Amino acid sequence: MSTSNIRKRNRYILIAIVLLLVAGFVGLLMRSPDTDNAYAALLKCRTTEEVKRVWNAYGGQQLNDQEFENKTREKLTTFNLSSNEINACLEWLPPTPTHKNLIVIPDLSNRISDTANYPNQFDADITIMHTIWKVFLEVVGTRESKDQMAVVITDELNMNGPLTDQFSNLFINMEEETNNPDHLFFTPYRTTKYNRNCREIYEYALENVISSDFYTFFKSDIESFLKHPTLYDNYTNKLIIITDGRIEENTGGGTTEIEKFSQKMMTAYSKDSLQSCITNQGLNLRPVQTDWTNTDLLICEINGGKKQPKFHTEVIIAYWEDWFNKMGCSIETIKSGRPEPMVASQIKTFILN
């Protein structure tokens, strides 16, 4: 290498060093004393309230610094917060993305084969399953998200046995599909596959005994399907149950008593005080120790059967509302026999809101 080239190279190296030094000096000038004070104060925090005071003093008003926001969330994670405590922090932290966690639980008991009491129930359920899928496509098709959908049943032996493949195909986690654009993932084939799997599950239930023990499922299993807010992501659980609503006595959690207390229930029904009657008779279903934070429930196809259907339906609704209201979970219901467009509209509103 000639002497002139060596000098030119050295000159470039010197210029690069000078530029780096200038950039570092400018960075130091731009880092205000407030920034140093904020990080020092954050480091000393021992409670969420202390972190909140530091955030209010620096992060929210003066710094407007993404790095400081990240450090604040990291500090809060060291406290091992509960769902309620995380929700309290999310009220004063900058908004985080909210994702949908849709859980669909069809009741595959003999209600779908008992055509005398539940005519056309098979087809009505299938239509609801199709509607839910269409709305889910509408939710995830407009954004990048960690939205999730799962179709499950309370009978674990059947779900993880003969129907394993079908239920596996009905579990969608968009967080795992980050490299697969929605318009490529949700193809017409995907919809056809979803519809076919739903029908296969229902056809299997026509020929086999599948229990629907909701009480035990809520007590022991539902928690594994619920998603709770983190300091970086917010989740809304949307739980849709397709059932006539009867909760059987062998669940250990009580029973939707209708026949045994029929006269008292009828009197309460006429006075619009069914829930009070349930409480006065000590018939309340026992609450389950499940964290229902950020969870909404919709029950479709509630049906009291052929004998006094309106009265029995209202008793069933009163039981479910009493049960979930006491557990702090919002609940909506759709009675069987409603026009298909009305049902589809309510399902769509429930999922999207």
Domain closes at, from 67, 95, 123: 95
CA distances to 74, 130, 192, 253 from 54, in Å: 14, 49, 53, 47
In this structure, are 80 and 104 located in the same domain? no
In this structure, are 103 and 227 located in the same domain? yes
Give helix 121-140 / helix 188-207 axis angle, nearest 10°: 150
Task: Indicate whether 59 pLDDT > 60.
Answer: yes
- When pLDDT is averaged across residues 45-57 and rounded to a whole number, the result is 92
In this structure, are 160 and 305 located in the same domain? yes
Task: Answer with the residue of higher pLDDT: 64 or 263.
Answer: 263
Q: What are 312-338's pLDDT values in tens digits?
A: 888 889 889 999 999 999 999 999 989
- When pLDDT is averaged across residues 51-63 and rounded to a whole number, the result is 77
In this structure, are 295 and 211 located in the same domain? yes
Alpha-carbon distance 152 to 224, whole Å? Answer: 11
In this structure, are 43 and 179 located in the same domain? no
| 77 residue type, one letter | T
Token reading at 281: 């008779």
Task: Indicate whether 52 pLDDT > 70.
Answer: yes
E-only strand ranges, the chain: 98-106, 148-151, 171-173, 234-242, 295-302, 330-335
Task: Answer with the residue of higher pLDDT: 132 or 25.
Answer: 132
In this structure, are 73 and 107 located in the same domain? no
Give pLDDT, residue 256: 64
Range of the domain at 89: 35-95
- The structure's pTM equals 0.82
Percent of all residues in the chain with a pLDDT value above 90, rounded to a whole number: 43
Q: List all residues 6 or more positions away from 290 whose beta carbon is below 8 Å from its beta carbon.
A: 218, 219, 222, 223, 226, 327
Secondary structure (3-state) at 173: strand
In this structure, are 123 and 44 located in the same domain? no
Percent of all residues in the chain with a pLDDT value above 70, rounded to a whole number: 80
Give pLDDT, residue 224: 93
Token reading at 278: 């349930």
Give pLDDT, residue 26: 44
In this structure, are 164 and 290 located in the same domain? yes
Exposed, middle or buried by CB within 10 Å (0-12, 13-18, 19+), for 337?
middle
- When pLDDT is averaged across residues 290-312 and rounded to a whole number, the result is 87
The distance in angstroms from the start CA to the end CA of the chain is: 71
Give pLDDT, residue 293: 87
E-only strand ranges, 66-183: 98-106, 148-151, 171-173
| Confidence bin at 33 (pLDDT 50/70/90) | very low
Exposed, middle or buried by CB within 10 Å (0-12, 13-18, 19+), for 25?
exposed
Give pLDDT, residue 30: 46
| Confidence bin at 5 (pLDDT 50/70/90) | low
Give pLDDT, residue 249: 46
In this structure, are 160 and 229 located in the same domain? yes
In this structure, are 178 and 76 located in the same domain? no
Give pLDDT, residue 345: 95
Helix H or strand E segment including 182: helix 182-185
Q: What's the total number of domains in the chain? A: 3
- When pLDDT is averaged across residues 128-137 and rounded to a whole number, the result is 94
Give pLDDT, residue 257: 64
Task: Indicate whether 22 pLDDT > 80.
Answer: no
Q: What are 66-89's pLDDT values in tens digits?
A: 888 889 999 999 999 988 899 899
In this structure, are 23 and 75 located in the same domain? no
- When pLDDT is averaged across residues 133-155 and rounded to a whole number, the result is 85
In this structure, are 40 and 26 located in the same domain? no
CATH number of the domain bearing residue 236: 3.40.50
Give pLDDT, residue 267: 82
- When pLDDT is averaged across residues 144-173 and rounded to a whole number, the result is 87
Task: Answer with the residue of higher pLDDT: 247 or 95.
Answer: 95
Alpha-carbon distance 319 to 308, whole Å? Answer: 17
Domain closes at, from 95, 112, 143: 95
The angle subtended at Cα 135 by Cα 129 and Cα 139, nearest 5°, is 140
Alpha-carbon distance 42 to 28, whole Å? Answer: 20
Alpha-carbon distance 289 to 184, whole Å? Answer: 41
| 171 residue type, one letter | F
Q: List all residues 6 or more positions away from 345 whose beta carbon is below 8 Å from its beta carbon.
A: none
Give pLDDT, residue 9: 61
